[in-house]
Structure 1
């Protein structure tokens, strides 16, 4: 039995959605399929939160927009009028729920984490209903099962939940397994689960990959397939490096590091559940479904040059905390880091020296983190320094930390094109080395590294 994940990028535009609906009966029978919302719908739902808080007269027109979007897709997909009417009934019921949420928001004037999660995950429910009724219209035995009925249990943390694998694995024996015995294809909305008390809790933006991995682990699936519009991971971003090559196989560790440091193939947390059950992840290209994509498993084919890929993210900033003796003053790291996390912000990494603590943050978290530190009394630092004109480059490969000369080759490649490294981290991960450059030096830096480690010609595309 497989678990198949279909992302929002594969549910973009009627032609793409139709193609997916035709592939599902061929490759999906006997399997569970986890789906994202139709492309752009989650943003529409979140946009509705602001409208609901501003003016209740904006709510019904917003709901009408969502209704028309999904009905227009359904009318072009479904061959059966009976199935179209069945979908309309399900859609109307789900929209009534969303309407109550929006009007409740307007009444209270307050957006809680609980309400944000309840609203933001409804797009996946729309999508699962749409695809299930579409397959029924093709004569397939298909149904959808919501995570609250599946009992996909989480730790209850809103906005960034973690699956309770033990509780979920026990529950699916009585929910999903019998359901799959009754239907050839079962479609499950991704992105969220429920706490033990029954509250909807989401896994963070892009978390449908993670929920699919959790379900795969819970049922001990033979494989987790991630359907994309690409074959899988590359030695670098082909948009920046045309010479980038396809990677056949990666380890869980390599995949996790690539995803964390900018590769958008998988959500960074996807490997967590399947790693515990040693379940392979396979990337499948919906444009060429017969081709074997990248395979992620416990072991990786050892590359002759160790390095598997060079990735990057532009969503990076630094907040430097300058003070005398921060390297040995007890408690200062805890104080400043605690202030940032207490503000609900994520710290990507920390590098400390004798006179400075550097926090790596998402760009959107830089200003809130700065403000949080400015509220500390008494002030434990001399100065704060913000920098958001950066890019993070990461070199990933199993065994990189024990391979001699990798860091030296990185510095040499970067120095040869006259680039200054702002910060480097090597050692915390056995599979990754990363460093920061000024954002204007991204193209030169990534091409210099790719040419060094993959023996390709250094060509920089015109801006």
Structure 2
């Protein structure tokens, strides 16, 4: 029996045209169809806000209920379903309990956040009548107990194979641990959930029903109507996933790469399954080498400087261990003999600075944090083997009086990094884009 796995983003829930096109598209396929659903943005933001303020303000349960009801009513004509009301009340009761206790664990936080997908699926069910809800507990979708960043381990194949033909809605982004707790695999990580099920079901491909932010040559907020990227490797797609103007979870490729299972981004504007972007293992090098000029403001730079940095062993290991133990993710490390530079997210910069200052290094003369910067990523396979790519990048910024705070290339054949002042971000993107695509 054939299986189809498709990921549906939360932005499509309530979009009657998109859901009708998906329904008609799936009618062309036989067997079981699994639609892995991401959370509606407004619901996820509401829950995140309530978690972050639950100890600071009195919980206004009536306001939360009204907001959730309003989200439903804006998308579905008719009475709010009993299941949606019950889930809303369960969420409010959980938040009340957390406020009363005065503390919560990572596991409890994941449980609360899971309501974002569960509530979203109930709205979709009300809009799309010919579907069934498939809870992850029923198929025993097992995940590690790394709450917030869990990894999928297994699924009950017998229970999957026992399902009759039909369309099944699967709330994405979490699994269950061996002790029966919910473990979230990341923020809006339904892509990863869908990829894992694709591999386990032996489906021939993973289909993404559109992306909220397409794979384009550059950020459309900076470059007017940039071209869509037609072909990407797994590595290129994962690299681009870390930048603000793409909506693809970087772990999506993990379950698929070894099995060479392709990913297709399908246009929601049609019922014909028109493919916008294909992601697979085939290395496709374009004539201009570069496929995208990506950017993000979500960085801070932690610098350890000193003449003996390159001679003293263990500095890098000591810092990475401290940051890892504190739950701080390091985006990248760029080093020289006199400086180690850690690229972190904005929210982690100050915390990391305080932690590293406590470590004490005799060979480090200065530890500093640089903010108000942006990261530019020039992405495309073949950079190390093509003459003139780096020269083009640096000529583009130099000719336009753009100061490069830090640069890094050579660690990978598919990306070169530039760190620039935030005020130079848009100019940098425009000039590098012009050098390669105009």
- The normalised TM-score by structure 1 is 0.87
CA–CA distance in structure 2, aligned partners of residues 408 and 306 of structure 1: 13
Note the C-alpha offset of 1:10: 2.4
CA–CA distance in structure 2, aligned partners of residues 154 and 444 of structure 1: 43
Note the C-alpha offset of 1:211: 1.2
Note the C-alpha offset of 1:358: 0.8
Note the C-alpha offset of 1:282: 1.1
Answer 1 or 2: which has greater helix percent.
Answer: 1
Secondary structure of residue in 1 paired with 2:322: helix
Asked whether 1:406 is paired with 2:404, we answer no
CA–CA distance in structure 2, aligned partners of residues 394 and 257 of structure 1: 9
Distance 1:431 1:377, change over 3 A: closer
Distance 1:281 1:106, change over 3 A: same
Counterpart of 1:69 in structure 2 is 71
Asked whether 1:293 is paired with 2:276, we answer yes
Task: Tell me which of 30, 33, 44 is aligned to 1:31.
Answer: 33
CA–CA distance in structure 1, aligned partners of residues 211 and 377 of structure 2: 24
User: Is this contact kept in 2: 1:231–1:294, CA < 8 A?
Assistant: no
Counterpart of 2:20 in structure 1 is 22
Counterpart of 2:351 in structure 1 is 368
Distance 1:439 1:289, change over 3 A: farther
Task: Tell me which of 332, 353, 362 is aligned to 1:349.
Answer: 332
CA–CA distance in structure 2, aligned partners of residues 243 and 63 of structure 1: 40
Counterpart of 1:154 in structure 2 is 143
User: Where does structure 1 differ by over 6 angstroms across 4 or more consecutive aligned residues?
Assistant: none
CA–CA distance in structure 1, aligned partners of residues 407 and 361 of structure 2: 31
Asked whether 1:2 is paired with 2:7, we answer no
Query: Within 5 A, what are the aligned runs for 1:126-145?
Result: 126-136=119-129, 140=130, 142-145=131-134
Counterpart of 1:81 in structure 2 is none
Asked whether 1:121 is paired with 2:114, we answer yes
CA–CA distance in structure 2, aligned partners of residues 409 and 382 of structure 1: 35
Note the C-alpha offset of 1:246: 2.1
Task: Tell me which of 88, 91, 101 is aligned to 2:84.
Answer: 91
Distance 1:244 1:274, change over 3 A: same
- Identify the range of structure 1 (58-67 vs 201-210) with the bigger mean alpha-carbon deviation: 58-67
Task: Tell me which of 247, 255, 258 is aligned to 2:237.
Answer: 255
- The normalised TM-score by structure 2 is 0.92
- Identify the range of structure 1 (45-54 vs 341-350) with the bigger mean alpha-carbon deviation: 45-54
User: Is this contact kept in 2: 1:220–1:277, CA < 8 A?
Assistant: no
Secondary structure of residue in 2 paired with 1:286: coil
User: Is this contact kept in 2: 1:347–1:359, CA < 8 A?
Assistant: yes
Counterpart of 2:197 in structure 1 is 215
**What does the per-residue CA deviation read over 1:276-328, in whole Å, with 9 as the maximum and x for residues that have no partner?**
22121111222345432111111143312222111111111101122341112
Counterpart of 2:227 in structure 1 is 245
Secondary structure of residue in 2 paired with 1:430: coil
- Show structure 1 runs of 5+ residues with no match: 79-83, 457-463
CA–CA distance in structure 1, aligned partners of residues 110 and 213 of structure 2: 32
Task: Tell me which of 299, 310, 314 is aligned to 2:293.
Answer: 310
Task: Tell me which of 167, 179, 183 is aligned to 1:201.
Answer: 183
Q: Would you say how many aligned residue pairs link Structure 1 and Structure 2?
A: 431
Counterpart of 1:175 in structure 2 is 159
Asked whether 1:449 is paired with 2:432, we answer yes
